[in-house]
Amino acid sequence: MTSFDAIVIGAGHNGLAAAARLAKGGRKVLVLEAAHAPGGATRGHEFAPGFRSAGLAHLVNRLDADVARDIGLDLSGEGTLLPTTVLDGSGKAITLHGAYGESIAGISAEEEAAFVALRKKLIFQAGILKRFLRRPPPQIGAISLGDLSTFAAAGFGLIRKGRSEGRDFLRMLLMNVADVSDEYLSDDRLKGLLAFDATLGIHLGPRSPTSLLGLYYRLTGEVAGKTGGQFVPSGGMASVAPAFVRAAEKAGVTIRCGTPVGRILADRGRTSGVVTRDGTEITAPIVVSAIHPQTTFLSLVDPAESGTGFVRSVKNVRSYGNVAKLDLALDRIPTFEGLPIESRHGRIVLVRSMEQVERAFNPAKYGEFSSDPVMEVTLPSLADPSLAPAGGCTLSALVQYAPYRLKAGWETGKPAFLKIILETLERHAPGIGTSVVAANLMTPVDIEAEYNLPGGHWHHGELQADQLLINRPTSAASGYTTPIEGLYLASAGAHPGGGISGLPGWNAARHILSAARL
């Protein structure tokens, strides 16, 4: 039996961020990872001979600067912000430069001015919500001085902007992104981009109530001090996991891969460590679960310890993914019609309009995929040539919508959906089909199996109004604490949610250290 001050389950970036912060706080920390390599969903794999995928994510847009600075993350590349190019099949592109469209090419001066006005408003409003991301969500009936300070700062920010801005914030907070876009914009391509970005990875369409929250969430991210920026680290996305590992190990963390946890030890509402699947018992007064909350409480904890009501609430967390991840091995760099050569290293969004996004969502409500999907595309090997052989290229695409519960079943549905996706790419990049060496399509079912993510949802639960803040993942475990003393949550299923931010893990660790000082 081995003893540590804290055990972290899961070596994804949130688990490593939590471990590094705890170790810097003077704790002896052990990280246990079931897979044979750290990184979680940022862990890459070879999907064809000589061709590698860098993982689920293909760019960074939410890495928190305070987290990176505090744990000593040595991830470079933030200085080069990626452009976003919107292609609608007409051959005429719109390219957003800087941080989410600080300048835009391909539209009229009047439309650019309208977008600038909307961007300014959305960034201000997202900034109000951002104040709540770097601390545990306020607890009803137990509001702290820190919570009051955050509320006061948010309120003061609104007051400073004037009564009309305050009213507009309250009016727009729960609106859908389609109505907001219609108020400001006339270009269908720009509306389509906002609709896509607001709903990517969320089971909502642009006309669904509260869908604007998804765009707020995206715009709480900051790169190099610029809200809405996005980048690929020097060396490509494959460098993300090693950077978090280095930060954790430098802080003194012990990491053991290929060591799945079989059970979290708990007795009379108090944890005392874990038992690995091979029967090894490791004790610690603190256990931090940086894996999906449903795996934690439905597989690793005795239900009698957490209570039937709590277990029921965890079972009811909506966590069914609706995005497919495509990796293509190509024998040459593809040419997209209308894409400026200098923008091919950036993000490419294939969308015609907000209506197309809404129509793509409609079948997903009934367990079907769209025959006209929308997608985000990058060419990862341009940033990391090691991903493809000389002369070759890799393409990565996130495709909306691909429901986890496909009515026809993914065994038969996957070939049909892949055919549709490749036809869509062919329309935008004529001849790409003849250069495909191999294709690897991961549906939510595949994502679940590869990364141990229940439902194949990369956010570990829907980012919707009823599953955020004090309700993430449930009201009884929203502040990183759980009904079991000493057991904490630190994955994307905890506040503030998914994306490569490090905030759930970092926040959880700071909360643990703060509680120990009381």
Percentage of residues in the chain having pLDDT higher than 70: 94
The answer on pLDDT for 351 being more than 90 is: yes
User: What does the alpha-carbon distance between residue 55 and residue 38 come to, in Å, rounded to a whole number?
Assistant: 12
With cut-offs at 50, 70 and 90, classify the pLDDT of residue 166. confident
Check residue 155 and give its pLDDT. Answer: 55
Least confidently predicted of 139-148, 295-304, 419-428, 488-497 = 139-148
Check residue 149 and give its pLDDT. Answer: 52
User: What does the alpha-carbon distance between residue 359 and residue 356 come to, in Å, rounded to a whole number?
Assistant: 5
- Burial of residue 197 (CB within 10 Å: 0-12, 13-18, 19+) is buried
Check residue 156 and give its pLDDT. Answer: 53
CATH topology assigned to domain 2-43+240-318+459-517? FAD/NAD(P)-binding domain (3.50.50)
Question: Could you state, in order of their start, the residue ranges of all structural domains in the chain?
Answer: 2-43+240-318+459-517, 102-227
Least confidently predicted of 10-19, 165-174, 241-250, 273-282 = 165-174
The answer on pLDDT for 187 being more than 80 is: yes
With cut-offs at 50, 70 and 90, classify the pLDDT of residue 1. low
Q: Quick one: DSSP state of residue 12?
A: B
Q: How many Cα atoms within 13 Å fall on the side-chain side of residue 480?
A: 30
The answer on pLDDT for 7 being more than 80 is: yes
Each as own residue / partner, the long-range contacts of residues 445-448 (CB below 8 Å, 24 or more positions apart, any chain) are 445/404, 445/410, 446/410, 447/56, 447/321, 447/325, 448/321, 448/404
Check residue 160 and give its pLDDT. Answer: 67
DSSP collapsed to 3 states, 437-465 = EEEEEECHHHHHHHHCCHHHCCCCCCCCH
Q: Are 229 and 219 spatial neighbours (Cβ–Cβ below 8 Å)?
A: no
pLDDT, tens digit, 9 for 90 and up, residues 224-277: 788 899 999 988 999 999 999 999 999 999 999 999 999 999 999 999 999 999
Q: What is the DSSP string of 141-155?
A: T---HHHHHHHHHHH
Check residue 135 and give its pLDDT. Answer: 79
Closest CA to 483 of 222, 296, 321: 296
For residue 409, what are its two tokens?
């079943």
Check residue 157 and give its pLDDT. Answer: 59
Q: What is the mean pLDDT of residues 482-504?
A: 95
Check residue 159 and give its pLDDT. Answer: 59
Bridge partners, 158 (sequence order): none
Check residue 146 and give its pLDDT. Answer: 55
With cut-offs at 50, 70 and 90, classify the pLDDT of residue 167. confident
Residue-averaged pLDDT of the chain: 92
pLDDT, tens digit, 9 for 90 and up, residues 279-290: 999 999 999 999
Distances, alpha carbon 318 to alpha carbons 70, 203, 292, 456, 463, in Å? 32, 10, 12, 11, 9
Q: What is the mean pLDDT of residues 400-405?
A: 96
With cut-offs at 50, 70 and 90, classify the pLDDT of residue 150. low
**Between β-strands 254-256 and 29-32, what pairing exists: parallel, antiparallel or unpaired?**
parallel
Q: What is the mean pLDDT of residues 304-330?
A: 95
User: What does the alpha-carbon distance between residue 24 and residue 302 come to, in Å, rounded to a whole number?
Assistant: 31
With cut-offs at 50, 70 and 90, classify the pLDDT of residue 451. very high
pLDDT, tens digit, 9 for 90 and up, residues 58-87: 999 989 999 999 999 998 887 789 999 999
By residue count, the chain amounts to: 518
Check residue 173 and give its pLDDT. Answer: 85
Q: Are 387 and 380 spatial neighbours (Cβ–Cβ below 8 Å)?
A: yes
Q: Are 251 and 23 spatial neighbours (Cβ–Cβ below 8 Å)?
A: yes
For residue 368, what are its two tokens?
């079907």
Does the model's pTM come out above 0.85?
A: yes
- Residue 89 three-state SS: coil
Closest CA to 54 of 499, 387, 332: 387
